[in-house]
Amino acid sequence: MYERPWFSRRWVIQEIALANQRTAIVICGQESIPWAEFSEAVSLFDRTLSGPLDLSKLKFPQRNNVSYSTRYAPALGAIRLVKATNELFRTSFYNESPSALRSLEYLVSTFTMYETSEPRDVIYSLLSISNDAFRFDSPQDANNIEVQASPFDHLPVVRKLVQSWMDEHIVRRAFRVDYDAPIIEVYKQFVSFAISKSHPSQALDIICRPWAPELRNEEFPSWISTLSNATYKLVDQNAVGQRLVRRNLDSLVGNPNSATYNASRNIGPPKSVQIFRYWKSVERSMFLHGFVLDRIGSLAFPSQLGHIPPEWVAMGNWDPKYDEPPEEFWRTLVADRGPEGRDPLPFYPRACREVFQHSVDDTLDTTMLINHGSSIIADFLKRVQAVIWNRRLMRTKRSWLGLAPKAAESGDLICILNGCSVPVVLRKVQKSSHDIELELKDHKARKADAVLYIARKIAAHARRRRDEEKQILQHLMGRLRIRILA
């Protein structure tokens, strides 16, 4: 029952989260159980499997020391669903209605393993349980809403003050639901929404956080990170059912509202600049501010399955037989952090030297050492795997040591973006002749629109002047009539 597909459907999260937890019932065939009891049983089951007894070893002693819960239990849909719904709402003793705890960005980027048949439901299915968005279901009705003009609408300063007040005091905003809109436009709306609701120093972290599904007939721009970049993937294995398999490193930006780094120094995207522009030639582009920090110089062979190629030690300028590990080398391997984004643990340098002393000329098999080494070495290498999986060691043009994506090339730009908590690697793209023609066409259209706009403003100004002159003339004629009568 635990691995039934029902537990992996994204809409189920909303159904359970919004239901009365005390009276909800789970029905499977002819059997039923109150949701509260089912949730309690699932939580105890997960706790037992991940506890110190490690029942998986008693039943499967031939397996390595990676715990059963780490390898299999998180893949059980029921356990993931119970954990998710328990973290979404908080109910006060004095208030019967629960309050939502998580933002839309958090929900979309966290519940990536829950399935939807409709790509837009990756976002729409979570609107009702977020704490910063609500559904706006009828875009047609928006055209029928009568908007009354304010006497202050012509004052840009007042408009900015009103908008600023709304940003600070209105927690939940409308998110338009439109299943007829192109998928790219829905996803662009979500990215824009996430940026507007995030802290300025990490507003752009959404472009580094995998959340969008991989679609066969849809190619997304690079600022939409798909699940091909996700840390884990669910894989069906006949003997044990579903299990989680690591595909990539852990996300360096972490979860929303809990940034691990601060590369932009609390400087966010400028509010005066439109991040998205809706002309045809730039509809898939994002306009950001930042600066070039460095360029990639040399690159080593990428890490495969979390193993460390021998070239990495040479690039780190280290001889493990005689020297202590250079600080820049071991700190790079762990991204200068320990588990859960904390400071590096004190034993990391010693563990680093120990694991490399006997593997100078060979690829370092981190998985074997995790399974058969000491707990200190295992803890160090688990952190290393979480950082280097599918990454490449690099030296920049200014001789800094670092990690780069697997697809990085020499000469790529290392940039700091205002609003992104980590540096990003960018590459210049040569525009095609078609792109240039489209931009010229859009430029002409913008110029024509600008001329038309100015002409309308001049005509409106002329009409206003005529009306004012007419009113003045009527006023003077009235005063003249009064004098004649007098």
pLDDT digits (tens, 9 = 90+) for 431-468: 888 777 877 877 777 667 666 767 776 777 788 778 77
How confident is the model at residue 446, as a pLDDT?
A: 65
How confident is the model over 127-161, as pLDDT tens digits? 989 998 877 764 444 443 333 334 444 455 555 55
How confident is the model over 326-339, as pLDDT tens digits? 999 999 999 999 98
How confident is the model over 78-88, as pLDDT tens digits? 787 888 788 88
| Pairing verdict, β 133-136 and 173-176 | parallel
Answer with the one of 81, 99, 117 that is the final residue of a domain. Answer: 99
How confident is the model over 255-304, as pLDDT tens digits? 887 888 999 998 999 887 789 987 777 888 999 999 999 999 999 999 99
Domains of the chain: total: 2
37 in a structural domain: yes
337 in a structural domain: yes
Name the H helices within 344-432: 348-356, 366-372, 375-388
Higher pLDDT, 97 or 288: 288
Orientation angle between helical segments 348-356 and 375-388, nearest 10 degrees: 90
The pLDDT of residue 1 is above 90: no
228 in a structural domain: no
469 in a structural domain: no
233 in a structural domain: no
| Pairing verdict, β 391-396 and 401-405 | antiparallel
297 in a structural domain: yes
236 in a structural domain: no
**What is d(CA 233, CA 68) in angstroms, rounded to the nearest whole number?**
17
**What is d(CA 470, CA 473) in angstroms, rounded to the nearest whole number?**
5
Full residue range of the structural domain in which residue 26 is found: 1-99
Q: Which two tokens stand for residue 239?
A: 């003997």
Question: H or E element: which one contains 90?
Answer: strand 89-90
First to last CA, the chain: 100
Where b means 16+ CB within 10 Å and e means fewer, 168-200 reads: eeeeeeebebbeeeebbebbbbbbebbbebbeb
In DSSP terms, 417 is beta-bridged to 290
Mean pLDDT of all residues in the chain? 82
Give the lowest-confidence range in 21-25, 33-37, 93-97: 93-97
323 in a structural domain: yes
Higher pLDDT, 348 or 62: 348
Answer with the one of 76, 99, 122 that is the final residue of a domain. Answer: 99
Answer with the one of 41, 73, 99 that is the final residue of a domain. Answer: 99
